[in-house]
Chain A
């Protein structure tokens, strides 16, 4: 047994020598890397891509006392025939190799989105440092580079602000890339992405104001070739998310007939159920949206402590939201892009018929009949039934 104890140290020594002499290949010091916080891609002309990256400047970020007022980031852009070519040109301006494991956002310019996202998505899926958690957002109007140069008052890196805004809006920010992939690769669905825009303001004026210069705008609808085909503004987009089953809460304003004001309801625990039923050559879908509501604002004379009035609000809400959602679906249908999950529902409920249907699904989706029913229970009215400020006789019991 004795020789073992001698041999192992020798082996280890050899190993150490091997490692020492050949060097440390993947070792990169943090201070020798440029940390990318956001990417932006766009198309400037046909077959000419431009890539922009936002880099953090750690020393400016400074923790605690060292916090400076300067911009804590800078951007670099480059053009090229493809993504890789563009990034190669970008690297020529950079003093350090970059590290993109922490870039949380990928911005897509409108022109590129219309041209198609196929090659960008391929690059993102291939790179092992890229996470599927990335937020991918379409920029509506304006140039990607200008957008990445914007500062945000609360966050020192505007890239973080974008993700946080997205998250705060209740739209699972870091599922966008995965959802896009899943939809693009599936037979049923069409992908969609959130849209952000720069709020319009001339530069001179904006230097004085400190309000954020970016805003979530809505959603972009893509076809199966990952090309942008239409937009859905946020007020409509929320309902689309609800139908798709991705939304957690929504604020709905209900106009009350015969009253001047309206009632604002916050709905939580949102659910959506789609029932598909083939009818001849066409397909019929019944969407049931359900949830639990809380009254947040009452601008009418109704006493919401009375259940009759609550029922009234509820009924109004059902008809108004139902019609609205129906309109939205009708508006999207001609695009042939199923962003509501109808195809999945059909597939799950009628798997065998789906096999015959799936080849012409976009057309079938376009001509599908849709009905919307609602089941939203108003459960709470806040701390009061009737508005505080009204006199007793003004209150409508």
Chain B
């Protein structure tokens, strides 16, 4: 462990150095300072923002005497408030003449003019450039070796809409947007506690993307939190365009087909995870928020589970479990049963399958592979194709595969049913990325079933089991709380216990604050009457 830490600290030092070199190339030498000459400062800035047509240089005169210069980037600055809060006071002489140095402006802005926005003074070129890039307006004044930075960040945002991936019948319909501020506000609005912490950092040498690590103090485990900070902190990348970029850097086992990081578009999912002790990573520019650690059993937990009645939810969970098994196993079982162990199938059923297979040119394995590939192709086409063409594809797919291929005797009807059912079953998995893993693994399993029958399937399942058992997500076993079994934590796995019975947070996730709901809140007729 110590060895590990040493290696880590060493490499982080190297990274620090490298990052500075990169910054120099982009934004000038870090130690470069402004001078007390407006022209020189302007030249320096223009040199840095060479060929950046979206940078606006706006010279003004304060009290018709003093020259000043505003630098900002078009489109990420709120021009209306720029006019009202900066230009108007400066140009229209609302400022007393004597206080025309920057420090007094700063004080003035802070106290009166733009009280809601941040302003600050900076003398470092690097800092100023970075802030301008983030949407601040820099004001240079003749004879000052500082710049006043006023935060007027404002850019086009998408409206908050219902998330497209995880839709619910009952439950909140707000989804995250691409803006970090909006996203954090969505969380904060629902959890008005100072214990909801958001640590922000910037990743990406070019993109300088804002990333926030969100957790609830006392509920998140310190060791996991520390691990998250460490893993996120050591990422070195040019640009972060989606949270997927971050995800690939912080996974425990990059070769596993299983995702070890959850992503969601739903603020309620993030918050319920936070309340269990998980940690969210919000990345600016994408509505997909990462949640770590991820455990396997969330594959069957949908957001809605917690809003609907628990008996219904439990039943649905079992259904999902079954469908998960089907989406993973059914084609292999069919192939193994028909080609290796036909005695397994009841006689009448077997005879009708045999009748359907009569004349089909392919072996069952090949037939299954063909159909599976075809199905995946249809699905992929459905996502990629422009919307107006989509219906054509599904129609052609249904006609060609469902009808003509069977009629022509190229594939057998039972196989079409099997593949279609498998496909439908795979759509019921609430976690899309975990479902993807099972979709991929279906193919090797099919291959095993085709070579060794049920023994091959057994082999596949055991191998998968070993893999899952060895997986960890941020130190938490992937199969927790079932293996290793953590007593008292099984209330949200195979069943969804009623809210009043889930008294404790998952012990393998939560930190100090273990209690969630005080005991003894089970509603009953008697309690209702006495109150």
Residues 470-488 of chain B: 1 if any A CB is under 8 Å from the residue's CB, otherwise 0?
A: 0000000000000000000
Most buried by B among A26, A31, A35, A104: A31
Partner of A27, one of B339, B354, B355: B339
Cα–Cα, bound, A129→B338 (Å)? 15
Contacts of A1-42 to chain B: CB distance below 8 A = 5, 9, 16, 19-20, 24, 26-31, 33, 35, 37
- B343 and A29: CB pair below 8 A? no
- A104 and B347: CB pair below 8 A? yes
Question: Closest residue of chain B to A100, judged by CB?
Answer: B343
Cα–Cα, bound, A62→B352 (Å)? 7
In the complex, chain B residues whose CB is within 8 Å of the CB of A157: 351
Contacts of B406-453 to chain A: CB distance below 8 A = 447-448, 450-453
- A101 and B343: CB pair below 8 A? yes
Partner of B351, one of A9, A19, A56, A101: A56
Contacts of A91-126 to chain B: CB distance below 8 A = 99, 101-102, 104
Tell whether A61 is near chain B: CB-to-CB under 8 Å. Answer: yes
- B450 and A27: CB pair below 8 A? yes
Cα–Cα, bound, A157→B352 (Å)? 13
- B451 and A129: CB pair below 8 A? no
Partner of A33, one of B253, B342, B355, B448: B342
Tell whether B340 is near chain A: CB-to-CB under 8 Å. Answer: yes
Contacts of A56-93 to chain B: CB distance below 8 A = 56, 58-59, 61-63, 66
Question: Closest residue of chain B to A19, judged by CB?
Answer: B451
**Known contacts A24-B450, A63-B356; A30 and B350 CB within 8 A of each other:** yes
Question: Closest residue of chain B to A31, judged by CB?
Answer: B357
Cα–Cα, bound, A104→B351 (Å)? 13
Q: How far is the CB of B159 from chain A (nearest CB, A)?
A: 43
- A102 and B342: CB pair below 8 A? yes
- A30 and B255: CB pair below 8 A? no
Most buried by A among B340, B358, B451: B451
Stretch from B283-291, B310-318, B359-367 at the A interface:
B359-367
**Known contacts A5-B255, A31-B358, A59-B355; A24 and B451 CB within 8 A of each other:** yes
Q: How far is the CB of A263 from chain B (nearest CB, A)?
A: 41
Tell whether B108 is near chain A: CB-to-CB under 8 Å. Answer: no
The contact size tier of chain A is: 20 to 34
Tell whether A213 is near chain B: CB-to-CB under 8 Å. Answer: no
Cα–Cα, bound, A240→B297 (Å)? 58
Tell whether A160 is near chain B: CB-to-CB under 8 Å. Answer: yes
Contacts of B322-363 to chain A: CB distance below 8 A = 338-340, 342-343, 347, 350-360, 363
Contacts of B442-468 to chain A: CB distance below 8 A = 447-448, 450-453
In the complex, chain A residues whose CB is within 8 Å of the CB of B355: 58-59, 61-63, 66
Cα–Cα, bound, A371→B365 (Å)? 65
Partner of B360, one of A31, A129, A131: A31
- A58 and B342: CB pair below 8 A? no
Question: Closest residue of chain B to A23, judged by CB?
Answer: B451
**Known contacts A5-B253, A27-B453; A58 and B351 CB within 8 A of each other:** yes
Question: Closest residue of chain A to B335, judged by CB?
Answer: A27
In the complex, chain A residues whose CB is within 8 Å of the CB of B451: 19-20, 24, 27
Cα–Cα, bound, A99→B338 (Å)? 12
Most buried by B among A9, A37, A61: A61
**Known contacts A16-B447, A30-B364, A31-B359; A61 and B342 CB within 8 A of each other:** no
Q: How far is the CB of A212 from chain B (nearest CB, A)?
A: 20
Partner of B357, one of A26, A30, A61: A30
Cα–Cα, bound, A59→B354 (Å)? 8
**Known contacts A19-B451, A19-B452, A63-B355; A28 and B339 CB within 8 A of each other:** yes
- A27 and B351: CB pair below 8 A? no
Partner of B340, one of A5, A27, A56, A104: A27
In the complex, chain B residues whose CB is within 8 Å of the CB of A129: 343
Cα–Cα, bound, A172→B364 (Å)? 36
Residues 242-256 of chain B: 1 if any A CB is under 8 Å from the residue's CB, otherwise 0?
A: 000000000001110
Partner of B342, one of A5, A20, A63, A101: A101
- B350 and A29: CB pair below 8 A? no
**Known contacts A19-B452, A24-B451, A26-B453; A63 and B339 CB within 8 A of each other:** no
Q: How far is the CB of B413 from chain A (nearest CB, A)?
A: 9
In the complex, chain B residues whose CB is within 8 Å of the CB of A27: 339-340, 363, 365, 450-451, 453
In the complex, chain B residues whose CB is within 8 Å of the CB of A30: 338-339, 342, 350, 353-354, 357, 364
Q: How far is the CB of A297 from chain B (nearest CB, A)?
A: 36
**Known contacts A29-B357, A30-B364, A61-B355; A102 and B255 CB within 8 A of each other:** no
In the complex, chain B residues whose CB is within 8 Å of the CB of A131: 343
**Known contacts A26-B340, A101-B343, A102-B342; A35 and B359 CB within 8 A of each other:** no
Partner of A160, one of B347, B359, B364, B450: B347
Cα–Cα, bound, A277→B450 (Å)? 62
In the complex, chain A residues whose CB is within 8 Å of the CB of B342: 30, 33, 35, 99, 101-102
**Known contacts A5-B255, A30-B339, A58-B355; A102 and B350 CB within 8 A of each other:** yes
Q: How far is the CB of A120 from chain B (nearest CB, A)?
A: 20
In the complex, chain B residues whose CB is within 8 Å of the CB of A16: 447
- B453 and A9: CB pair below 8 A? no
Cα–Cα, bound, A63→B338 (Å)? 18
- B352 and A31: CB pair below 8 A? no
In the complex, chain A residues whose CB is within 8 Å of the CB of B447: 16
Residues 119-156 of chain A: 1 if any B CB is under 8 Å from the residue's CB, otherwise 0?
A: 00000000001010000000000000000000000000
Cα–Cα, bound, A370→B287 (Å)? 89
- B357 and A102: CB pair below 8 A? no
Q: How far is the CB of B122 from chain A (nearest CB, A)?
A: 44
Q: How far is the CB of A68 from chain B (nearest CB, A)?
A: 11
Cα–Cα, bound, A300→B253 (Å)? 87
Cα–Cα, bound, A322→B358 (Å)? 57
In the complex, chain A residues whose CB is within 8 Å of the CB of B453: 26-27
In the complex, chain A residues whose CB is within 8 Å of the CB of B352: 58, 61, 63
- A102 and B353: CB pair below 8 A? no
In the complex, chain A residues whose CB is within 8 Å of the CB of B364: 29-30
Q: How far is the CB of B460 from chain A (nearest CB, A)?
A: 11
Contacts of B137-167 to chain A: CB distance below 8 A = none
Question: Closest residue of chain A to B255, judged by CB?
Answer: A5
Cα–Cα, bound, A369→B254 (Å)? 83
Q: How far is the CB of B181 from chain A (nearest CB, A)?
A: 39
Question: Closest residue of chain B to A131, judged by CB?
Answer: B343
Q: How far is the CB of B30 from chain A (nearest CB, A)?
A: 36
Cα–Cα, bound, A31→B353 (Å)? 9
Q: How far is the CB of B454 from chain A (nearest CB, A)?
A: 10
Most buried by A among B355, B359, B447: B355
Cα–Cα, bound, A102→B338 (Å)? 13
Cα–Cα, bound, A27→B366 (Å)? 12
Q: How far is the CB of A11 from chain B (nearest CB, A)?
A: 10
Q: How far is the CB of A185 from chain B (nearest CB, A)?
A: 25
Cα–Cα, bound, A28→B339 (Å)? 5
Q: How far is the CB of A116 from chain B (nearest CB, A)?
A: 29
Q: How far is the CB of B323 from chain A (nearest CB, A)?
A: 26
In the complex, chain A residues whose CB is within 8 Å of the CB of B338: 29-30
Cα–Cα, bound, A71→B409 (Å)? 23
Q: How far is the CB of A48 from chain B (nearest CB, A)?
A: 31
In the complex, chain B residues whose CB is within 8 Å of the CB of A28: 339-340
Cα–Cα, bound, A104→B348 (Å)? 12
A–B Cβ pairs within 8 angstroms, 9 of them: A24-B450, A27-B450, A28-B339, A30-B353, A35-B354, A37-B347, A58-B358, A62-B355, A102-B342
Please give me the 8 A-B residue pairs with the lowest Cβ-Cβ distance, nearest first.
A101-B343, A58-B355, A58-B354, A31-B357, A19-B451, A102-B347, A5-B255, A30-B354
Residues of A within 8 A of B (CB): 5, 9, 16, 19-20, 24, 26-31, 33, 35, 37, 56, 58-59, 61-63, 66, 99, 101-102, 104, 129, 131, 157, 160
Apart from A20-B451, A27-B450, A28-B340, what are 14 other A-B pairs with CB-CB below 8 Å? A5-B255, A19-B451, A27-B339, A27-B363, A29-B357, A29-B364, A30-B364, A31-B360, A58-B355, A58-B358, A59-B355, A102-B350, A104-B347, A131-B343
